[in-house]
Amino acid sequence: MNPGRLLEIAVAAARASGDHALMHQSRRRETLSRSPRDIKLVLDRECQTVAESVICEAIPDACILGEEGNRGAKQDTEWIVDPIDGTANFFRHLPWWCSSVAVRSGDTMVAGAVYAPEFGRLYAASVDGPATLNGQPIQVSPVTSMAETFITTGISKTSVDASRSMAVTLQLQPEVMKLRIMGAAALDLCMVAEGVVDGFYETGIYIWDVAAACLIVERAGGRTITQNHQPDGRLTCIAGTGLTFPRLRELASQTH
Ligand code: IPD
């Protein structure tokens, strides 16, 4: 299947998942489990089932890696789904949340869609096309001075990872205009792709949080890397422009 067709399916799955969450938002506090810094919602599960049914309607034996569980036998092409990224925001009715669906073939991300239903924003990219927002091409910011930049980070569930994300980004505080923490990594990364913010750093994050959005950043002219993969799947994600990416990477490598 070509990347364009895979992207159509990813877009349909992300839209279906996000629209299901939005339509049932009165049930946002229905909880499956809770731990001190984490929450699992009934709608997380339901939305992943909705996304999976869209994917499997097109590809019945699809291999799916999702925040809410895996499905299908391992194969070269894999679907990576985060049904609600920014779960805690959704739970508290903070509208900064989204659904994310990516397709990976071997080591290459070939298509990705991120849908933020409360804002009516659909970000998409395939490996052979431009990054788009609601069908219009987008580009990372052309900013040329660190003093003009906005940098975002995220606070992972584990204290060690949260401290590291803060340590890396706080070192930038004297040289940038603003630091921001918004709470949905996929959408934060789409802000980099759109040129609304200029960089993103988080450690302790998972592939489903960043897979689609990293491709969108790259196809918008930005740079991304995921590294330091841990056995439990946690990883570090850095994204930015030609200006911010090297600086974030340098700080990440110097911070222990
Ligand atoms: C979380 C969000 C948040 C990030 C956390 C993620 P979830 O994803 O992306 O911004 O800081 O590390 O776990 O759990 O809401 O899908």
Q: What is the CATH number of the domain that holds 221?
A: 3.40.190.80
Residues 156 and 124 in one domain: no
- Tell me what pLDDT residue 31 has: 92
Q: What is the distance in A from the centroid of ligand 1 to the CA of 82?
A: 10
Give residue 53's domain range.
3-137
Residues with CB under 6 A from ligand 1: 67, 82, 85-87, 154-156, 183-185, 202, 204-205, 209
Rounded to the nearest 10°, the torsion over CA 205, 156, 51, 11 is -70
Tell which of 137, 171, 201 closes a domain.
Answer: 137
Among 97, 207, 209, say which to mutate for ligand 1: greatest number of ligand atoms within 8 Å of CB: 209
Q: What is the distance in A from the centroid of ligand 1 to the CA of 140?
A: 22
Atom of ligand 1 nearest to the CA of 208: 16
Residues 173 and 111 in one domain: no
Residues 124 and 91 in one domain: yes
- Tell me what pLDDT residue 47 has: 98
Tell which of 112, 137, 162 closes a domain.
Answer: 137
Residues 37 and 89 in one domain: yes
- Number of structural domains in the chain: 2
pLDDT tens profile 31-83: 999 888 889 999 999 999 999 999 999 999 999 999 988 988 899 999 999 99
Q: What is the distance in A from the centroid of ligand 1 to the CA of 156?
A: 7
pLDDT tens profile 182-219: 999 999 999 999 999 999 999 999 999 999 999 999 99
Q: What is the distance in A from the centroid of ligand 1 to the CA of 173?
A: 22
Tell which of 137, 159, 181 closes a domain.
Answer: 137
Atom of ligand 1 nearest to the CA of 88: 15
- Other Cβ atoms less than 10 A from the Cβ of 195: the count is 17
Residue 85 amino acid letter: D
Among 92, 153, 163, 205, say which to mutate for ligand 1: greatest number of ligand atoms within 8 Å of CB: 205
Residues 97 and 179 in one domain: no
Q: Residue whose CA is closest, atom 1 of ligand 1? A: 86
> Which CATH number do you get for residue 113?
3.30.540.10
Residues 13 and 133 in one domain: yes
The more confidently predicted of residues 25 and 157 is: 25
Residues 86 and 7 in one domain: yes
Q: What is the distance in A from the centroid of ligand 1 to the CA of 2?
A: 30
Residues 28 and 88 in one domain: yes
pLDDT tens profile 211-255: 999 999 999 999 999 998 899 999 999 999 999 999 999 999 998
Residues 160 and 110 in one domain: no
Residues 117 and 165 in one domain: no
Place of tokens 């302790």: 204
